[in-house]
Amino acid sequence: MKLSSKIYNERYLYQYLSTVAGSFAVLSFGVNLGWTSPYNPQIINGTFPDITMTSEEGSWIAVMPPLATPVGAVIGALLVDRIGRKHTTLLMAPFTLAMFILLAFAKSVILIGFSRFVIGVAEGTLYTTLPMYLGEISDPAIRGILTASIGFAVLLGTLLINVFGFYFSIFVTSLACCLIPIIHFFTFMWMPESPYYLIKKKRYDEARKALEVLRGAMDIEGEMKSLCDAVTRQEADEKASWTDIFTIKSNRRAAFIFVILCLTRKFSVCYGV
């Protein structure tokens, strides 16, 4: 039993490490999402004399991240097959770090809104690439747990900013939050790239090495062949056009359900001040 447990842990070790390192990225977005809850009322009430903000401006500050997220989603879709899942994810860390620094020294509503917008763009990019990365590196037995960590990290970030925002100033909290993208960058940089992406780029030796790391150096030839077959099938299906969303009945139904769910969530005041 002990030996079996050891093999189990070694097999999934790098999958868990990759998930934790990647989750630090979306932890920043949870912070950005919940930022207005402690700080908007304080700014409006004059707690920070250097910054003046009306209630209307506070509403715009609150909705900056969801306004920016679609932009990031497009960027993520453009980059993910060009520079890879891993490097697209890493690329967001410097932008997030720069915006937390800007937020620490911001003395105007425009700068606060700009910083939250840029982090929102990074958020949209990560919501495109990170689930894809985790889905491609993970064993089916733990894939659900790993991908669920994204939502958990967002909620944890929202909780942390509400706690810190009660006790500390914008300056102190923003500088403390700089640690999040730094930790993300210097941990995630050591994680392997998605073997699926490497196979798509015909980098088979790198894909085999990445798969060996992710699977604990077990016999991976069977899975390697399955991934190659999956890439071949996808390349054959890439002849499909985006217009198929509207011309195929099942796709139209799925798109309609998705849009209704998204609109319901947004109009449920999930970004209320």
User: Any residues with CB less than 8 A from the CB of 4 and at least 6 apart, and which?
Assistant: none
Burial 30-48 (b: 16+ CB within 10 A, else e): bbbbbbbbbbbebbbeeeb
Rounded to two decimals, the pTM is 0.83
pLDDT of residue 31: 93
H/E element holding 131?
helix 109-137
- The position carrying tokens 């005041």 is 269
| pLDDT, block means (10 residues), the chain with 273 residues | 49 90 92 91 88 89 88 90 93 94 92 94 91 90 89 92 92 95 95 91 89 79 79 67 69 77 66 51
pLDDT of residue 186: 96
At 243, list the tokens.
């217009």
CA angle 112, 77, 200 (to 5 degrees): 145
Q: Could you tell me which of 178, 137, 160, 187 has the C-alpha nearest to residue 22? A: 187
pLDDT of residue 242: 59
pLDDT of residue 159: 94
CB 140 within 8 A of CB 11: no
